[in-house]
Amino acid sequence: MQNLDIAKFGGTSVADYQAMNNCVQVVTANPNTKLVVVSACAGVTNLLVELASGACDSKQREEIIAKVFAIHKAIFDQLDDSDKHAAVINEYLGVVRDLAVQATMTRTDAITDRLVSHGELMSSYLITEIFKQKGFKATCFDVRQVMRTDSNYGQALPLVEVIAALTKQHLLPLLDSGDTIVVTQGFIGADSSGQTTTLGRGGSDYSAALLGESCHAKTISIWTDVPGVYTTDPRLVPNAKPIAELTYLEAAEMATFGAKILHPSTLVPAVRCGIPVFVGSSKEPEKGGTWVRPTTDYAPPFRAVALRKNQTLIVLSSPKMVGASGFLAQVFSIFAKYHLSVDLVSTSEVSIAITLDAGTQTSGLSSIPEALFHELREFCHVKVEHGLSLVAVVGNNMARSAHITDEVFSAIDEYAVRMICYGASSHNLCFLVGADEAVEVLGRLHHKLLEKE
Ligand code: ADP
Ligand code: ASP
Ligand code: MG
């Protein structure tokens, strides 16, 4: 389909009947929006993750299932044929109950993924019914037919070439027919044996971008609860301002360093095929939003500040490091073995400091296994620190301009900075601070770097 727009709606955008109606209005206002990707209704994924933890007794289990049912009932009660919809939701929740019981016996990431996928399965079913009731032709498409991933449950990697081939076979013919709005699920996929997988928390943005790529979309629209990308999280810093235009690079840096508005991988497929990404509010579409494009007219030295919580700092030291070669390779090969992605790195004569983010798995469990520390301790001293947050200043030409570090650090000279990374990219300067001071640090930086006229 030519000029296809993909519209992705996050959890708050599909939280209830009114919110889903706003989505329908947004979609039907643009004749090019033919593919709709939805998250689970707000709060549902967290409830399902709790069920999948295996830690609930039967009373807690039934209470959670009742809460999940109530969220969906409040929506289908507004529709004709509510008995039919109740039966569909109850059938999904029957599977959820069985999986939750299984999880109490043996919790696995595969069971977690199957269980939590029901959030998106239920929301996509209900919003399709709303489209139909409003007189639009709509089809609910199971994204697992096309969203092929590896089997790394909880944080699966999409297999882009297979997704392209499957999309051509199963999804493009539906879109090319042009007469139906296709509604599908974000966040979930399937591996080659048909087992359900998930792309990690917040992964629906990534799903939309992957589908944008495989469907050769003209635009990808991420509809959320704020009218665009701001200079920092407006919930943390009330003076944050919306940004009209961002480059892919700037937006990717912001997402990587904690701007939750976009899942960190979202820009990867968009960059591969140069598709512009729009971010706006489904509740207030008239307020406009942010366009993320390959280039922008204006490239300020300071564009935004971001915060990523729950960072783990690991300091590895060994006298064997002095003048030795291969020590870093040895350390990184151990992290690679455990599929852990290292974020920041800083080295001194006898030590290496690195940071890890352990919290993006769907299960919500830490992805840092104890075995990693055992293995590291075999050849160096290991010190682990928690309770840290990563603050990032995102901008342009930062490592090539004078006064950057002075402007940044003079704003926060009352705070202890635990580690700094600067110079690898000209687009960011980031550092670790204590979690208890992080929001204050963010506010000070925002005030000094982004509020001046
Ligand atoms: P959705 O459910 O639609 O995916 P998210 O909660 O994942 O929405 O992301 C939207 C939230 O991201 C906003 O409510 C806001 O608190 C947060 N956020 C963090 N950084 C930024 C930023 N720079 N600009 C706008 N919102 C941000
Ligand atoms: N529902 C999933 C989550 O809450 C995916 C998403 O909303 O993007 O993480
Ligand atoms: Mg999100």
Taken as a whole, the chain contains a residue count of 453
Gap between the Cα atoms of 47 and 378, Å rounded: 40
Ligand 3: distance of its center to the CA of 261 in Å? 6
Pairing of strands 304-317, 277-281: unpaired
Give the gyration radius of the chain's Cα atoms.
Answer: 23
Ligand 2: distance of its center to the CA of 11 in Å? 7
Gap between the Cα atoms of 33 and 31, Å rounded: 6
- Candidates 27, 29, 70, 28; CA nearest to 47 is 70
Q: Name which residue sits closest to atom 8 of ligand 2, judged by CA.
A: 202
Ligand 2: distance of its center to the CA of 128 in Å? 19
Per-residue pLDDT band at 453 (split at 50, 70, 90): low
Q: List the single range of 235-239, 323-327, 330-334, 387-391 with lowest mean pLDDT.
A: 323-327
* CB burial string 189-227: b at 16+ within 10 A, e below: bbbeeebbbbbbbbbbbbbbbbbbbbbebebbbbbbbbb
Ligand 2: distance of its center to the CA of 369 in Å? 24
Q: List the single range of 293-302, 354-363, 420-429, 430-439 with lowest mean pLDDT.
A: 354-363
10 contact partners, CB below 8 Å, separation of at least 6:
39, 204, 205, 222, 223, 224, 225
**Mean pLDDT (whole number) for 107-130:** 98
Query: Would you say the CB of residue 11 lies under 6 angstroms from ligand 2?
Result: yes
268 contact partners, CB below 8 Å, separation of at least 6:
209, 252
The helix or strand, by DSSP H or E, that contains position 7, with its residue range, turns out to be strand 5-9
- Which ligand neighbours the alpha carbon of 224 most closely? 1
Dump pLDDT digits (tens) for 145-161.
Answer: 999 999 999 999 999 99
CB-based contact 129:85 (threshold 8 Å): yes
Per-residue pLDDT band at 339 (split at 50, 70, 90): confident
Q: Which of 221, 261, 287 to mutate to test the pocket of ligand 1 (most atoms within 8 A of CB)?
A: 261
Pairing of strands 33-38, 5-9: parallel
Tokens found for residue 385: 């620190």
The answer on pLDDT for 326 being more than 90 is no
Distance of CA 452 to the CA centre of its chain: 31
Question: Between helices 82-105 and 44-52, what is the axis angle to 10°?
Answer: 40
Dump pLDDT digits (tens) for 262-300.
Answer: 999 999 999 999 999 999 999 999 999 999 999 999 899
Query: Would you say the CB of residue 202 lies under 6 angstroms from ligand 2?
Result: yes
Which sign, positive or negative, has the C-alpha torsion 407, 412, 230, 395?
A: positive
Query: Would you say the CB of residue 189 lies under 6 angstroms from ligand 2?
Result: no
CB-based contact 222:228 (threshold 8 Å): no
Percentage of the chain exceeding pLDDT 90:
86
Per-residue pLDDT band at 323 (split at 50, 70, 90): confident
Gap between the Cα atoms of 181 and 160, Å rounded: 24
The answer on pLDDT for 110 being more than 80 is yes
- Candidates 418, 390, 328, 361; CA nearest to 152 is 361
- Which ligand neighbours the alpha carbon of 40 most closely? 2
Per-residue pLDDT band at 122 (split at 50, 70, 90): very high
Known binder of ligand: residue 9? yes
- Candidates 192, 68, 182; CA nearest to 118 is 68
**Mean pLDDT (whole number) for 440-444:** 98
Gap between the Cα atoms of 420 and 45, Å rounded: 35
